[in-house]
Amino acid sequence: MLEGILTGLETAIMPTNLLMVVVGCFVGTFIGMLPGLGPISAIALMIPITYGLEPSTGIILMAGVYYGAIFGGSTSSILINAPGCSGTVVTSFDGYPLAAKGQAGKALAIAAYASFTGGTISAIFLLVAAPMLAEVSLSFQSADYFALMILGLSAVAAFSGKGQVIKAVLMTLFGLMLSTVGTDRATGVERFTFGSIDLLDGISFLLLAMATFALAEALMSVLWGEHREDATGGQDMSKLGSMKLTKEEVKEIAPPIARSSVLGFFVGVLPGAGATIAAFLAYGVDRNLASEKDRQKFGKGSLRGLAAPEAANNAASSGSFVPLLTLGIPGSGTTAIMLGALISYGIQPGPRLFVDHPEVFWSVIISMYIGNVVLLILNLPLIPYISKLLIIPRPILVPMILLFSITGVYLVSFNSVDIVIMAAVCSLAIVLRLLTFPMAPLLLGFILGGMMEDNLRRALLINDDSLSFLWERPITLSIVIITVLVLAAPVFQKTIQRIFKVDDHADLSID
């Protein structure tokens, strides 16, 4: 192992490879900022360029683009509420309200620090524990993944305001329903397509995210105008605000960043989980762990609510290299493209990669740490310039958001019907937002719906249509117990609060 690390270090610090890390991070950051593109598009654009490069150099370039795009995706989420990719959707929940309060500089700085910490911790974990984690990852079966998805859905309360849990649950169910539209991947049967060829492939996640967040936010700012305090391009939005963090703020965000980095890495290690689920889980866990006072700030500009998902999604993006490099299993669409690139180089990812191509395996891991340093150095000085987006007047900014959103969705499918569907979803989203229905649970249900269905079907097939798979395996049972505890925690908390209130009342009456 030590010999492999030294080989990787020697490869990673070659001038050409260091240049590729810088170029990859720079390109990835700016592509990630553009709503609708994201890491998959960014890496796809890099593939023709990497053909003439050495295998380790090409993979280092694509890895730099990958975590650069995740890093940069938070910028558009914070500044214009238009997530650059699915992994940064959660960033907008508290990042955008902070920018609306004139604290865009602080929000971008926290995102940069959290991303750096998450990426660094996961790179160290990856360096030390990759072979061991590969075995753990391999032991996960369909039943375990299904239980993990249920645990993810249990975080729904984290995206609802006080007394709005029912609304959040309804939106989650709506998201699960939307995920069933299209062709059933197992049987090939059309579902809820209403005879339309354009719905055979289902509804795009990007379409849903753009419609419910970017488009809806832009149009609501037009509807409400200057009367809305957090309107895009409003008076406070033109202020960058200080990028400095006080000691109290550092103390507030340090525990969530540490927790979420570890959580994000282990979620990223699981094939098929990825940065999006990691970010949702980290946000939900941190909200549930917060005090009642801090919990009220979530969704309104909480520093913890911004730091946790940013650390988690960057940690998960590094963690996703574990199944790719050690098992040859792509954990996401992005790593699937990278798997294709590795195979085109004549390299077969898997257990033999340690032995056959140690310079590729270890150099990619070491370049991740270098890349995180590069991203921090690149992004912090650029914050004052990036935040100039806020100064753009609303009559110009809103059409720009509309253009990016519509173009981004169209470039995914080149189908004009998707734009019509996006307009319909956006109209519905505006009505639901006016009725104070949260949008985040809708996306959570939609993201997890397809994976839940596939894993449930496989688990039932293995267990002869019996639900006994939920308690037969120790891993599955452990996840189910954690889910029950997460769901029961708010009930226990309220019960305890009521008991103490009654006791206090009783003491006062006796006195």
**Residue range 394-420, pLDDT digits in tens:** 677 778 778 877 877 777 677 888 888
Question: Which range, of 8-22, 41-55, 446-460, averages the lowest pLDDT?
Answer: 41-55
- Please, are residues 220 and 272 in contact by the beta-carbon 8 Å criterion? no
The whole-number pLDDT of residue 37 equals 62
- Asked if 233 and 390 count as a contact pair (C-beta separation under 8 A), the reply is yes
Among candidates 110, 23, 107, which has minimal Cα distance to 387? 107
Is residue 141 within 8 Å of residue 455, measured between CB atoms? no
The answer to whether 353 and 325 have CB atoms below 8 angstroms apart is: yes
Q: Are 120 and 372 in contact (CB under 8 A)?
A: yes
Q: How confident is the model at residue 504 (pLDDT cuts 50, 70, 90)?
A: very low
Is residue 71 a contact partner of residue 347, using CB atoms and an 8 Å limit? no
Which candidate, 111, 108, 96, places its Cα nearest to that of 230? 96
pLDDT band at 502 (very low <50, low <70, confident <90, very high): very low
Residue 236 has pLDDT above 60, yes or no: no
| Residue 330 vs residue 57, higher pLDDT | 57
3-state SS, one letter per residue, for 110-178: HHHHHHHHHHHHHHHHHHHHHHHHHHHHHHCCHHHHHHHHHHHHHHHHHHCCCCCHHHHHHHHHHHHHH
State which amino acid sits at residue 180: T
Residue 237 scores a pLDDT above 50: no
For the chain, what percent of residues have pLDDT higher than 70?
A: 80
Mean pLDDT calculated for residue range 431-439 = 85
Contacts of 399 (CB under 8 A, 6+ apart): none
CB atoms near residue 203 (< 10 Å): 20
Hey, what are 117's tokens?
């910490």
Please, which pLDDT band fits residue 135 given cuts at 50, 70 and 90?
low
Q: Is residue 354 within 8 Å of residue 361, measured between CB atoms?
A: yes
Q: CA 167, CA 272: separation in Å to the nearest integer?
A: 28
Q: What is this structure's pTM? A: 0.68
The predicted structure's pLDDT at residue 246: 82
The whole-angstrom separation of Cα 441 and Cα 152 is: 11
Among residues 90, 89, 70, 73, the alpha carbon closest in space to that of 35 is found at: 73
Kindly report the number of other CB atoms within 10 A of residue 102's CB atom: 18
Report which of 84, 63, 60 is spatially closest to residue 74, judged by C-alpha positions. 84
